[in-house]
């Protein structure tokens, strides 16, 4: 069993997509064992996206992820990290296939509906920010 960190971003929460996204995660066989809705502080957003500090899109990303409520969650299952990354699809919604969460609900390279940790190390680090 593996545990990963997932966050529904403000663009998706503001459109009321949380339940549909949670349904897709659970329908895939993964389990959401904890979840919390909150507004990220700039400090929390900066910690979550620490590896992107200094990149040209960093400020835009922090402004976006602190612009409204998000839903953070702990997701558990066999190969949960890889399976969540497959469910969300590639970063850019234009390149994300239909049927993936970003392909169906993302609207731009920044406003792409959902985050999921990309490695066991990131999952542990990101979970520790919120749980």
Residues 61-90 that bind ligand CDP (CB under 6 A): 61
Residue 60 binds what, of ligand CDP, Mg ion, none (CB under 5 to 8 Å, by partner type)? ligand CDP
Looking at the Cβ atoms of 16 and 54, the one nearer to Mg ion is 54
Q: Which stretch binds ligand CDP (CB under 6 A): 20-28, 34-42, 52-60, 70-78?
A: 52-60
Looking at the Cβ atoms of 26 and 50, the one nearer to Mg ion is 50
DSSP string, the chain: -EEEEEEE-HHHHHTT-HHHHHHHHHHTT-EEEEEEEEPPPHHHHHHHTGGGTTSTTHHHHHHHHTSS-EEEEEEEETTHHHHHHHHH--SSTTTSPBTBHHHHH--SSS--SEEE--SHHHHHHHHHHH-
Site membership for ligand CDP, residue 48 (CB under 6 A): no
Known catalytic residue: 115? Answer: yes
Chain contacts with ligand CDP (rule: CB under 6 A): 52, 57, 60-61, 91, 109-110, 112, 115, 118
Query: Which residues are part of the catalytic machinery?
Result: 115
């Amino acid at each position: 069993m593996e545990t990963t960190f997932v966050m529904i971003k403000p663009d998706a929460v503001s459109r009321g997509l949380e339940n549909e996204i949670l349904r897709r995660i659970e329908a895939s066989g993964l389990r959401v064992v904890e979840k919390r809705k909150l507004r990220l502080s700039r400090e929390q957003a900066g910690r979550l996206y620490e590896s992107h500090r200094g990149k040209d899109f960093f400020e835009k990303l922090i402004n976006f992820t602190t612009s409204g409520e998000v839903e953070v969650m702990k997701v558990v299952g066999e190969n949960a990290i890889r399976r969540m990354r497959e469910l969300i699809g590639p970063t850019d919604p234009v390149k994300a296939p239909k049927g993936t969460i970003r392909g169906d609900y993302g609207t731009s390279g920044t406003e792409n509906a959902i985050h999921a940790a990309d490695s066991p190390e990131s999952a542990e680090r990101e979970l520790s920010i919120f749980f």
